[in-house]
């Protein structure tokens, strides 16, 4: 990598390295400038909504709360009423279990504030494809393209995955796809254990509501979350496991597939993926 001596370019490079790879507004915000506090800010005229910042996504409650905590130097924070804090996992479990349909589950996720990823994401990335399908795939986490479009696997690795599944006759009309977490981790970092745990009841309920006949776990991350298998993905790929959860009528055969992003970096594994896809097809054919 060449190190730029232009300070503007060096700053941009630093932003990229920190995972800041998108502008969220037309005008740069000076987050260090003193902000008007609730007592000094002009109140919106009665009956009008506060003006939205141009070009930004609707602020989440957490973003709004964070913005309100910026105070002029020396000012002490106002006393706050203690917020009732539910442990995120308990809240997630309750919300997910209450959902009786995919639409209700999606609404529950939109209302859920227990996963920090939501604060930096633009869109919820829920699922795509045919929810009546016999095959459901679960990947790791949305990336930048998915975050922009609100759909899983629409970026470069998604296009490769579509191509791979096309080889065995599957399209988005005949498979259903989601991820183990529903918002993009900033800078495409790996989701933390806490973020994965917060979303886990939702993806488990998601699988129960789709009730596929076959589950394909795309990559090691969703394999660890849903099967609890910690061996390397190269050891697990191509093998059938059983996935079970209380809301399913019985265990579902689950296959571990190498992640297309891994394949893009390591094309030498194409042969293994091809073999694994044929195994999925054989099993699917038995279900027809
Ligand atoms: N990788 C994933 O695991 N999921 C996506 O949605 C996109 C890329």
175: domain CATH number is 3.40.470.10
In a domain? residue 153: yes
Tell whether ligand 1 has an atom less than 6 A from the beta carbon of residue 263: no
Residue 137 lies in a domain: yes
Residue 37 lies in a domain: no
Q: Which domain holds residue 166?
A: 87-285
185 lines ligand 1 (CB under 6 A): no
Of 175, 158, 157, 163, give the one whose Cα is nearest residue 216.
Answer: 175
Is the distance from CB of 259 to CB of 140 less than 8 angstroms?
yes
Residue 139 Cβ < 6 Å to ligand 1? yes
Cα–Cα nearest to 138, from 279, 275, 259, 261 = 259
Ligand 1 centroid–CA 161 distance in Å is 10
Q: Which residues contact 265 (CB under 8 A, 6 or more apart)?
A: none
Q: Which of 123, 148, 155 has the most ligand 1 atoms within 8 A of CB, as the residue to mutate? A: 155
Residues 6+ apart with CB under 8 A from 45: none
Q: Which two tokens stand for residue 282?
A: 């054989």
Q: In what order do the strands lie in the sheet with 252-257?
A: 128-129, 176-179, 135-139, 214-218, 252-257, 240-243
Does residue 76 sit within a domain?
Answer: no
* Cα of 188 from ligand 1 centre, angstroms: 10
Q: How many angstroms does the Cα of residue 147 sit away from the middle of ligand 1?
A: 10
Residue 188 lies in a domain: yes
In a domain? residue 255: yes
Instruction: Select from 162, 159, 121 the least CA-distant residue to 141.
Output: 121
CA dist., res. 196 & res. 239, Å (int): 24
Distance 140 CA to ligand 1 centre (A): 6
Tally of structural domains, the chain? 1
Please give the distance of CA 3 from its chain centroid, rounded to a whole number. Answer: 33
- Cα(162) to ligand 1 centroid in Å equals 12
- 180 C-alpha to center of ligand 1: Å? 9
Scan for tokens 């999925």, then name that residue. Answer: 280
Residue among 152, 164, 223, 256 to mutate when testing ligand 1 (max atoms within 8 A of CB):
152
Asked whether residue 225 is domain-assigned, the answer is yes
Q: What is the pLDDT along the chain (288 residues), one digit of tens a residue?
A: 445 577 677 666 655 554 555 555 555 555 455 555 443 333 333 333 333 323 333 333 333 333 333 333 444 444 444 544 446 667 999 999 999 999 999 999 999 999 999 999 999 999 999 999 999 999 999 999 999 999 999 999 999 999 999 999 999 999 999 999 999 999 999 999 999 999 999 999 999 999 999 999 999 999 999 999 999 999 999 999 999 999 999 999 999 999 999 999 999 999 999 999 999 999 999 997
The structure's pTM equals 0.72
Atom of ligand 1 nearest to the CA of 140: 3
Residue at 275 is within a domain: yes
Q: Which atom of ligand 1 is found nearest the CA of 145?
A: 7
């Amino acid at each position: 990598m060449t190190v730029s001596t232009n300070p503007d370019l060096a700053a941009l490079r630093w932003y990229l390295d920190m995972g800041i790879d998108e502008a969220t507004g037309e005008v740069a915000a000076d987050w260090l400038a003193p902000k008007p506090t609730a007592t000094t800010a002009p109140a919106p005229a009665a009956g009008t909504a506060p003006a939205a910042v141009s070009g930004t996504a609707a602020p989440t409650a957490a973003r709004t709360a964070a913005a309100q905590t910026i105070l002029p130097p020396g000012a002490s924070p106002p006393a706050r009423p203690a917020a009732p804090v539910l442990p995120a996992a308990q809240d997630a479990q309750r919300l997910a279990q209450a959902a009786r349909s995919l639409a209700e589950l999606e609404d529950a996720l939109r209302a859920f504030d227990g996963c920090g990823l939501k604060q930096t994401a633009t869109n919820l990335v829920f699922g795509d494809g045919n929810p009546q399908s016999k095959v459901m795939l679960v990947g790791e986490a949305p990336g930048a393209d998915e975050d922009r479009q609100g759909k899983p696997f629409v970026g470069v690795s998604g296009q490769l995955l579509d191509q791979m599944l096309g080889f065995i006759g599957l399209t988005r009309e005949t498979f259903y796809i989601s991820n183990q977490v529903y918002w993009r981790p900033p800078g495409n970092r790996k989701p933390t254990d806490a973020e994965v745990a917060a979303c886990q009841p939702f993806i488990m309920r998601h699988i129960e509501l789709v009730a596929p006949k076959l589950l394909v776990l795309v990559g090691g991350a969703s394999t660890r979350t849903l099967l609890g298998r910690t061996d390397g993905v190269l050891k697990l790929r191509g093998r059938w496991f059983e996935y079970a959860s209380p809301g399913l009528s019985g265990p579902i055969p689950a296959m571990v597939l190498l992640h297309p992003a891994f394949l893009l970096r390591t094309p030498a594994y194409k042969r293994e993926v091809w073999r694994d896809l044929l195994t999925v097809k054989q099993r699917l054919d038995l279900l027809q």
